[in-house]
Amino acid sequence: MKNIFIIAILLSSFICHADAQNINQAIDGNQYVKQLADQRYQFNKSLIKKLRIPYPVAKSIFNSNSLVAFDGHTYVLKNNEVVEIKGFLLSKKALEAITNKLLMLDAYQKNCAENVNRSYSESGRDLQYVKNKDRQFFAALKQILSVTGSISDQYQKPNASVTIEMAMNKIKVQELSAEQDSQNIAFAKVK
C-alpha cells in the first residue's frame, strides 16, 4: 500500500514537473509577431538601399503542438487546434472559432511571405504585386495581435465563452487558396 502511495506521489510530481517545463517553453507570441514584421521591414529597407541580404524566412506562428503566449495568456495547440487558453474556461465552439481565425490568419501571413520571396527570385517581378502582398503580410500580423488582444478583453465580460465565439464569428477573414489572384487585398476583394 505504501509503495502505491509513493509511486502515485512520484508520478504526480513528474507530471507537474513536465507541465512546468512546457510552460517555460511557451513562445512569446507578441514578440514573435513583432520579430517577423521587423525582419520583413528590414529586408524591404535593405532593398531600397540596394543591399543584398537573404530573404526573411516565411514562418508559421502557430505550430502543430506548441505553446504560444499572447498578452500573458498561453494558447495550447495540439494537432493544429487551439485546445485551451490557460486561465480561460471556454467552450469547444469558442475554441473552434478561435482556431479557425488564428490559424487562417497565420497561414495567410506565411503564404504572403512565401509569395513575396518567390517573386523576388523571379527576373520579371511585378512590383505592385510584391507591394500588395507585403501589405497583406503586415495586415495579417496586425490582425493576429488584434484578435488575441480582443480575446483577452472579451474574457473580462460576463458569458465570456459566448461573447468570444460571437466576436470571432464577426471577424471576416478572406478564404485562403494557393491560386489566389494578385488583385486580392487583405480581407477584401478589389473589383
**CA distances from residue 79 to 54, 159, 161 in whole angstroms, order as listed:** 31, 27, 22
What integer best gives the mean pLDDT of the chain? 80
Instruction: Report the distance separating Cα 73 and Cα 26, nearest Å.
Output: 10
pLDDT, position 95: 93
Question: Among all chains, which residue has been given the C-alpha cell 502515485?
Answer: 8
Q: What is the pTM of this model?
A: 0.77
Q: Does residue 17 have a pLDDT over 50? A: no
**SS3 state at 26:** coil
pLDDT, position 170: 84
Strand pairing category for 67-70 and 27-28: parallel
Residue range 110-168, pLDDT digits in tens: 999 999 999 888 888 788 998 999 999 999 999 999 999 988 888 888 888 888 888 88
**Residue in 173, 74, 55 with CA at minimum distance from that of residue 119:** 55
pLDDT, position 175: 59
Burial class (CB in 10 A: 0-12, 13-18, 19+), 178: exposed
Give the H/E segment covering residue 24: helix 2-24
